[in-house]
Amino acid sequence: MSTPFLSVQDLTVDFHTEDGVVHAVDGLSLGVEKGTTLGVVGESGSGKSVTALAVLGLHNPETAKLSGEILLDGRELIGAPRSVMERIRGAKAAMIFQDPLTSLSPYHTIGKQIGEVFRRHTGASRAAARDRAVEMLTRVGIPQPKLRVDDYPHQFSGGMRQRAMIAMALVCDPDLLIADEPTTALDVTVQAQILDLLRDLQEQTGTAIILITHDLGVVANTAHEVLVMYAGRAVERGTVREVLGEPHHPYTWGLLASMPRLGAPVDVPLRPVRGAPPSLINVPSGCPFHPRCDYPALAGPGLCRAERPELSPHRGHGDACHLTLARKQEIVGTLVQKREIVR
């Protein structure tokens, strides 16, 4: 099997702070093919955004220390010169952010902000860039694009701003789009529109998408594959059907049990994952999830505390947990029976 279009191998991102070294991402591997969407889920602080920023080289090199391998179309991005990264960003790999209001410059018109990416990477004229901006606004479904192109972000609604962000990210037809919680700041109805838009655009352009979210519902509807992250590591990986249908990791169970959904039995309360996300300076020994896990006793005495489980098997549906497969299937069966999680 050839390397995927984006291949991240054994990525670590450490931040050196006054309090100690923050291990934000610790040995993460992932791959995304063109035309597919990888959903990355996990709590706040699980390293999702840090990973995304690392792929685009947006971390401050003085505070963030990266190691491992990030191959985009076979090209190593870690340690690439700044000028190379500046040419890749916005052209081959683009990103959209969570809050479209603060992520757009309040001082420049929407058209300028879209057009300048195009000019920067294609050397197009001002007029051509403006035409392109209008074209992109049309594609993302902004009404009256010829008029709205001269508006400022504050004159747009939240959903329109995110559409403009998407237009800006896609103006150079990037091969990779990283969407960092693109719908978190939006109304639910607008969320669905934005996700539909992303899916439609992907069908037209064949872009690879990394969709970062903490919303499993979004993943279920949009992604092809899922990566569940905890404390900077991948704890479960597989297709949407595998991970959401046959979840193997106790953390994934926890996420599923804490997620409200329509049609769920009203008499079963939502169950949050107990405890708080771990400190990334003093990551718990062994399996970082063991202090919050309900099942360490079933894995063998002291095993979860002592030994860090690796993600296995190597390909396909894998998880990082010491429990045996039979045991996991048994527990999932019980949870489904208790209607705490719905497959």
What are the residues binding another protein (CB under 8 A)?
A: 56, 58, 62, 82, 86-91, 94-95, 97, 99, 102-108, 116-117, 120-121, 152, 154, 165, 168
Please give the single-letter amino acid code of residue 272: P
Min separation Cβ 152 and another protein, Å: 5
Residues in Cβ contact with 12 at an 8 Å cutoff, skipping those fewer than 6 apart:
23, 25, 26, 27, 28, 65, 66, 67, 68
Instruction: Give the whole-angstrom CA distance, residue 238 versus residue 217.
Output: 16
106 vs 143 by CB, closer to another protein = 106
Q: Judged by CB, which is closer to another protein: 92, or 224?
A: 92
Half-sphere exposure of 170 (CA within 13 A, CB side): 26
| Smallest distance, another protein to C-beta of residue 33, A | 22
**Among all chains, which residue has been given the structure tokens 């993302």?**
140
Residue 315: partners with Cβ closer than 8 Å, 6 or more residues away: 1
Nearest approach in angstroms of CB 100 to another protein is 9
Chain center to CA of 80:
23
Residue indicated by tokens 């923050």: 22
CB of 332 to another protein, least distance (A): 39
Residue 60 or 337: which CB sits closer to another protein?
A: 60
- Rank residues 170 and 299 by Cβ distance to another protein and give the closer one: 170
- Whats the size of the chain, residue-wise? 343
Closest CA to 99 of 179, 215, 37: 179
Q: Is 89 exposed, middle or buried (0-12, 13-18, 19+ CB in 10 A)?
A: buried
CB of 124 to another protein, least distance (A): 14
The secondary structure of 303-340, three-state, reads HHHHCCCCCECCCCCEECCCCCHHHHHHHHHHHHHCCC
7: phi then psi, degrees, rounded to nearest 5: -125, 120
How far apart (Å, rounded) are the C-alpha atoms in residues 138 and 27? Answer: 41
- Residue 171 CB, shortest distance to another protein, in Å, is 9
Angstrom distance (rounded) from CA 220 to CA 234: 18
DSSP 117: H
Query: Whose Cβ is closer to another protein: residue 34's or residue 120's?
Result: 120
CB of 113 to another protein, least distance (A): 8
39, 214, 246 from 59: Cα distances, Å? 22, 22, 35
- Nearer residue to another protein within complex by CB, 123 or 260: 123
Nearer to another protein, 41 or 56 (CB): 56
CB of 116 to another protein, least distance (A): 7
Taking the complex as a whole, the smallest distance from the CB of residue 168 to another protein amounts, in Å, to: 7
61 versus 275: smaller Cβ distance to another protein: 61
Residue 221 forms beta bridges with which residues?
A: none
**CB of 121 or CB of 317, closer to another protein:** 121
